[in-house]
Structure 1
Amino acid sequence: MRKYKHITPDQTTVTQGSPLSHHIPSMKSLIAFDATARLGSMTAAAEEERTTQPTISQRIRTLEENIGLPLFDRQGSRLTLTFQGDRFYREVAPHLKEIRKAFEQIVHDGKRPSPSIVIAAGSGFTHLWLLPRLPALKQAFPDLSFKLMPIDRADDPELQAADIAIRFGPHVPQDEGRLLASEAVFPVCSPSYAHEHNLSETFTEASLSDTLLLHQDIKDPRWLDWTQWLQCAGLSLTTQDDVFLYHNYALLLNATLAGQGIALGWSILVEDYLTTGQLISLEPRVKRENYGYWLSVKHHRSALIKPVSDWLIGAVHQ
């Protein structure tokens, strides 16, 4: 049991004439008092707090002046708490312990790496839709980190291993993926190119004679090329001698933005450019039944990932 000495008002060494201050004591003063009360020595408290004995003494003196009562009996060879000091210690010490615990916990949490979520999708979708929305995604989930993986092959093992996989193609009955966006494909070009070639709102066979169709080097049957699109739209393709194949969709779209010709646009990939007026769309729109972007998640991490997948689906329909 801690020993303390009861000091009556006429024995106090602190002036009682001034009114009691209502200011909250400094944390340094409280820590100095707590350490001295626990260790029974200002010298020991100074060693624990990595400071000097006079500094600890001054902080305790300031605390006593703030309170208006002595907290230690300094008349013996060893410091002992006064009656008021002991009561104050028993009330303050648990709270200081909780403050230390909270501080240590937040420092520990700050050093812990954020859970990482891998989102895999085709390169066109990754660069044209996901990447522009990454800042908003991070803002919505500040405790998570995200890694985007552009993967174009449907059978790529990394696509299957990703936390969130977004694949393009027809609906697969055994796949539990959720529809992110249906397919809608139509010609797009820059406003200047449309004006230069007198293109109206509808793309016709007559439009083919005076325009350059921009092609992508597609070796994937999931995607429509110009020949397939024209067939779906009920139009015939005239032979074009000047054909340049672009390696990926982002390059193809950059050429379209630069006014070099007409490209096929997938609605979800070009919607931002249509909204800003950098591109214009031409009718008709080709839609294949059950084709679109499908989102699937890892089931063993679904509690962490499902809110993110819900956010992605919601962002498509904003």
Structure 2
Amino acid sequence: MDWDKLRIFHAVADAGSLTHAGDTLHLSQSAVSRQIRALEESLNTTLFHRHARGLILTEQGELLFDATSSMLKRIDAATARIRDSEEEVFGELRVTTTTGFGSLWLAPRLPKLYEKYPDLNIDLMLEERVLDLPMREADVAIRMKEPSQADLIRKRLMHIRMRLYASPDYLAQNGAPESVDEMYQHRLICQNTRSAQVHAGMSLVQELMTHDIGSTLTVNNYFGVLQAVISNLGIGVLPDYIIEDFPSVVRVLPDVESVEVPVFLAYPEELRQSKRIAAFRDFVQDEIIAYRRTMRAKEEA
């Protein structure tokens, strides 16, 4: 089967338009249309439903699009391995992690990585959905549980816990609860238990909700919870890794916390020799060591 035709088919399916695909491929609409027609004739099938709003894949087209998507991801993986220099770190590195960890812990530390490797381009994908690393949806992941996908290299980085925090101004105005039973006097800020999150955080919130709570503010990520806490809206359930970068928040009810949540770094086995992966892995490990050292010093103070 002609790869050029498959490449053009994939671009059309992705864009949903002959014109937009032609712009991406630097081909005229008529040239793209001829290639699609030739591909349909060679397969003796219809790949697109054509209507005023654009092009929609037929069932046969969906099957072919799945195949070309897999092919392109494998080509991307091979290209990444080929382009990895033995001496230099450069090019794109797609990193996925949760919204909270990525925005509150990882992103503030990335200037150090860019300072060391100015030719590295990070594509930071923050979402709770677990991306498929072997299928090249991302190059490396930092996740709050051990990845279950096969053919991955995994490294446990640290563990975190969900705890209760408030701003000094909020506590000065409203007082600090001495037990969970006194939470009826306060507003609890937390992730909605229906939103995607680590199970330990959800369990802690569910346990708190069994008590009499004054009022609640729910947000779908920890960045929003932190902003609400800083804005003096109440007492928030937050991961303990925020403390180093936000020392103004104060821990409330120190006996209340979640179970340990492991943090793992993972990447595909086929990228074992990648210089970009190695640079990012070493950077994260160094930052984790510095983070642990800071936390120990604060606990001993």
With the shorter chain as reference, the TM-score category is: 0.5 to 0.7
Query: Which of 204, 219, 225 is matched with 2:179 structurally?
Result: 204
8 Å Cα contact 2:141-2:266 kept in structure 1: yes
SS at match of 1:272: coil
- Are residues 1:164 and 2:140 paired? yes
- Are residues 1:189 and 2:159 paired? no
8 Å Cα contact 2:165-2:237 kept in structure 1: yes
- Are residues 1:273 and 2:236 paired? no
Distance in 2 between residues matched to 1:160 and 1:256, nearest whole Å: 37
Per-residue deviation, 1:190: 0.5
Match of 2:212 in 1: 238
**Structure 1 portions without partners, runs of 5+:** 1-112
Match of 2:93 in 1: 117
- Are residues 1:222 and 2:210 paired? no
SS at match of 2:225: helix
| Superposed counterparts of 1:88-167, under 5 Å | 114-154=90-130, 156-157=131-132, 161-167=137-143
8 Å Cα contact 1:214-1:262 kept in structure 2: yes
> What RMSD over aligned residues (CA atoms) do the two structures have, in Å?
3.2
- Are residues 1:293 and 2:263 paired? yes
**How big is each residue's C-alpha offset from its partner over 1:1-23, in whole Å with a ceiling of 9 and x where there is no partner?**
xxxxxxxxxxxxxxxxxxxxxxx
Distance 1:313 1:218, change over 3 A: farther
Match of 2:284 in 1: 312
What is the TM-score of this pair, normalised by structure 2? 0.57
Match of 1:257 in 2: 230
Distance 1:261 1:114, change over 3 A: same
Identical columns (%): 20
Residue 223 of structure 2 aligns with an amino acid whose one-letter code is A
Per-residue deviation, 1:254: 0.6
Residue 195 of structure 1 aligns with an amino acid whose one-letter code is A
Structure ID, larger Rg: 1
Distance 1:314 1:191, change over 3 A: same
Match of 2:19 in 1: none
Match of 2:221 in 1: 248
Match of 1:53 in 2: none
**By percentage of residues, which structure has more strand?**
2
What is the TM-score of this pair, normalised by structure 1? 0.54
Distance 1:292 1:310, change over 3 A: same
Distance 1:285 1:294, change over 3 A: farther
